[in-house]
Chain A
């Protein structure tokens, strides 16, 4: 059963700690994306990757880091430099990062920083 998995579903961390969110896809997609969702603000792009070992900053990359060592995996690290990390984080993938390609989304991780 192909899809995108994100883990954990809920995550709690203390302020000042780094935390890594997992994203795995078995769709054989080349492109992967990380979005942040806040109430009333829609989704904002954090990072995206078109191919293994390559990634680019999105609109709100400050305080976040990513890696793309394997095609199926695109973990996101929320660092202590992120001023307001509490949010719902969504990972997505598409066959190729072409204009018009449908993006498939994972179920999301809700991060709460205490």
Chain B
């Protein structure tokens, strides 16, 4: 079974500063990785995903993440944050199992990013 650990439950940062949200995963098979964002009292929106190919993945709103297989990590970064980036961010994983996991996602506990003016 897979598991996902988001290493920080809360990350406060000032506007225009860089930010990194950390995600580590555990799996006995290869995986696909996702980052989702959730604004208060809303559903989740996909930021980016890693399926294969380049380990540096670019997403929406200026976010990017790097897949590191040896460290089993998929950290999310943004070089300069805005107030509007304040939200909760979820890292998620699904097995790359030829379709047999039916796309089921395993989520981390979430990281609340708060951007201060």
Contact = CB atoms under 8 A, between A and B. Distances in A.
A99 B98 contact: yes
B102 A102 contact: no
Nearest to A58: B104
B35 to A, nearest CB: 12
Nearest to B97: A99
Given A96-B103, A102-B49, A103-B103, 20 more contacts: A4-B43, A33-B104, A40-B109, A40-B110, A41-B109, A42-B107, A48-B102, A48-B104, A50-B102, A92-B43, A98-B102, A98-B103, A99-B102, A100-B32, A100-B51, A100-B96, A101-B103, A103-B44, A105-B36, A106-B43
Interface string A86-114: 00001010101111111111111010000
Contacts of A107: 41-43
A43 B51 contact: no
A78 interface: no
Contacts of A44: 107
Nearest to A4: B43
A105 B91 CA distance: 15
A48 B66 CA distance: 29
| Interface core residue of A4, A45, A58, A99 (most chain B CB under 10 Å) | A99
Contact of A99 (B4, B101, B107, B109): B101
Contacts of B108: 42
Interface string A34-49: 0100001111110010
B110 A105 contact: no
Contact of A97 (B42, B44, B102): B102
7 contacts: A33-B104, A35-B107, A94-B103, A99-B95, A99-B99, A99-B103, A107-B42
B103 A31 contact: yes
Contacts of A92: 43-44
A10 B34 CA distance: 28
